[in-house]
Each structure stands twice: as C-alpha cells, then as structure tokens.
Amino acid sequence: MPNHLTTLDTPAALISLEKMQRNIARMQQQANALGVRFRPHVKTTKCADVVAAQRQAGATGITVSTLKEADQFFAQGVTDILYAVGMAPHRLAHALDLRQRGCQLQILTDSVQGAQAIADFGKQHGHAFEVLIEIDTDGHRSGIQPEDAVLLEVGQVLHQGGMRLAGVLTHAGSSYELHTPQALMQLAEQERTGCVRAAERLRQAGLPCEIVSVGSTPTALAAASLQGVTELRAGVYVFFDLVMRNVGVCREEDIALSVLTTVIGHQADKGWAIVDAGWMAMSRDRGTSKQQRDFGYGQVCTLDGNPLPGYVLSGANQEHGIVSAEGAADTDIVQRFPTGTRLRILPNHACATGAQFPEYHALADDGSLQTWGRFHGW
C-alpha cells in the first residue's frame, strides 16, 4: 500500500505511471505497425510531463485544441504543432506570431470563407500559413465531405492565395458511440478512405496534399490498414477511461487516471457513503449514461486501484459524491467504508476529469509520487 496516498490531500488526480506508459507504447506500436507518424492530441492532459513521455516513445509533433496549448508547448520546446480546430479569423494574428517566433504551426479550415480569410491575412502580412483542410468522414462535427465540390474550391483559394496547402485532416468522433470491433474497424476504414479520397481529389486537381491525417482513439486502435494515410492522431488513449472501456478499446485495468477521495460521512439507511469527490473533481461528464454499462460518475476502486465491482459514484454535488452499491442498498456501508477511508474513482471521461485539477500526481510502481502541473483556460 503506497504511503503517499494516505497523506495526499483529497480529492486528487492520480496517474498510474505504469499504465500510462503501457498505453503510450500500445498506441505508438500501432502507428509504427501501420507505417504512419503519430501525433498525440495533448488536449487530454495539457501536461508537459505526459507529452514528454509520448515524444520519448516516438511521437512526432503534437495536436492542440487551443492556441494556449500551442503557446505553452512551444515555450517548452515543441515546434511541430497542429491546431486541429477550425481557424477563427480573429486568431490569425496569434497564429502568425507563433509562426514568426519559429513554431511550425499548422492551421485548419473547412470553408471558402475561412480559406479566404487565411489567404487575405497571410497576403497582407507577407506570410504563407501552412493549412490543412478538414474533411468530414462521419457526419459527426466539422469538415467538408470528400466528394463535395467545395473541397477543390477551398484548396484553390489557399493555393492560389499563396498559402501552403499542407494536406487534409479528419476525426471520426462518432467512434465514441460504437462498441463492437467490427463497427470500429468499419468506421476506421471509412475514416481512412474518406480522407485519402479527399487527398486524391486535391492532387488530381493539381493541388499539393502531402499530409493525410486521421484519428480518434477508437478508430486509431481498430484500424487494420492506414494505406494512403501519413499520420495518426489520438488523445484519450494515454489515460483511457470508462467510456473507452465501454467502446471496447481498453479494460478497466488499463485506465491510468483515477481520482483519490476520502469518505466524509454516510447515510446508512440508504447504503450511501459520502465522499469528497463531487462533480467539481469528476466533472459533470456522464458519458457512460448512454452506453451499455452506466458507471454513474465513476467506478469505485480500493486505495491501491482495484475496482470494487458493483460500487459506483452514483451521485455528485459540487464537493460531495455518493458511493453506493448498484441494486439493493448496502446495509454494511458504514463498516465497509468508515469515515476517513480512501478510495479511488475511475472517471467516465479522462479529458473532462483531468481538466478539473491544477495538477496530476504521478504514481510509480514503487509508490513514489511526482507532481505534474497542467494548465487551464484559454
């Protein structure tokens, strides 16, 4: 039993280093085996130490969801950065500043209007932005459909406008809604073929398209082939979570992030133990509520991280969580988890839970603990 976990204040975000390293190695091996570069999405952790471990394992460059992430990681020496959210015109000055300071920032657009704004701003400032076109391969969110005529128009606006048309990018985020290997493999193939097709259309039109970037944690792990793709992206795989467990791409024992909590009281008649991990610690994410296995606000584990089957965080207020057994009330709850008992809770969604904390506590197998900062805000 690691002693540090009995003295750390709660709630606290714990990383199992051994599990994290295993998850990092697994995804890197997948990218290596499929012959593509791997560019992790750092929005999951916003943590320099985690990203260092990903780069150490072979990741080339990073993906970010905000320019603050780009600023922070560029300040830490990462220069190859893809900003994978559609470029808002008012952020072009910020992007230009990063590029002029030596950051190889790539930006994204999915409309003629957006491409024109980039080209106009670039021309005005004598700068050729590196731009990817976002492709929609699953109807999930943003992007241009591979066969849409607008694709070539956007490519031409960028290319003729003097920008560097760097490639195409897609994210099959609807993979989070699946839960069978067949469906995941099919979606991975749909993601690949859609993005490769878009690249081919651009090239056939005489436009450059070097990068073909795809990925989401489930499709990245399910892909059987990435022919025509040049790089893979994924974020949550580094920690995994209960949503990913339900999607079927990890086991509970692979989940590297948990929230350390203390029992602060009970409602014995109801079979409740009250803990100090409420939604402020876990986040309000209820991603498992629509999946085949609903974990409430999280799976309860012992202090050493072993899941206690049937015990979930069934309710959450801001700084109060309710631990209870599924089904009939546990009439022994007070004896089972006396006040002061420490538990760990596996989260529904590692990106959302991590964001609630100013730092992680990284726990090694020998019980030693390191504090790793993470940043917050925009």
Query: Residues in the site for a second copy, rule: CB under 8 A?
Result: 7, 9-12, 43, 65-66, 85-91, 94, 109-111, 113-114, 117, 136, 141-142, 173, 262-267, 274, 276, 279-281, 283-286, 317-320, 322, 338-340, 349, 351-352, 355-359, 376-378
Query: Do you find a cis peptide bond into 11, omega within 30 degrees of 0?
Result: yes
Shortest approach of a second copy to residue 32 CB, angstroms?
A: 27
Secondary structure (H, E, C), 271-318: CEEEECCCHHHHCCCCHHHHCCCCCECCEEECCCCCEEEEEEEEEECC
Nearest alpha carbon to residue 266 among 321, 304, 311? 321
CB of 187 to a second copy, least distance (A): 17
Q: 335 exposed, middle or buried (CB, 10 Å; 0-12, 13-18, 19+)? A: exposed
Q: Which is nearer to a second copy, 167 or 347 (CB)?
A: 347
Least distance to a second copy from the beta carbon of 251, Å? 24
Minimum separation from the CB atom of position 53 to a second copy (A): 21
194 sits in the region (left: phi over 0; alpha: psi -120 to 50; else beta) called alpha
Indicate the residue among 7 and 182 with the shorter CB distance to a second copy: 7
Nearer to a second copy, 284 or 293 (CB): 284
Neighbours of 4 (CB within 10 A): 13
Shortest separation between residue 285's beta carbon and a second copy, angstroms: 4
DSSP label at residue 219: H
Residue 215 or 226 having the CB closest to a second copy: 215
**Would you call 150 helix, strand, or coil by DSSP?**
helix
- Closest to a second copy by CB, 159 or 286: 286
Query: How far is it, in rounded angstroms, from Cα 163 to Cα 98?
Result: 16
In angstroms, give the least distance from the CB of 297 to a second copy. 11
Could you tell me the CA-to-CA distances from 125 to 93, 100, 129 in Å, in that order?
9, 11, 10
The nearer residue to a second copy, 15 or 355, going by C-beta atoms, is 355
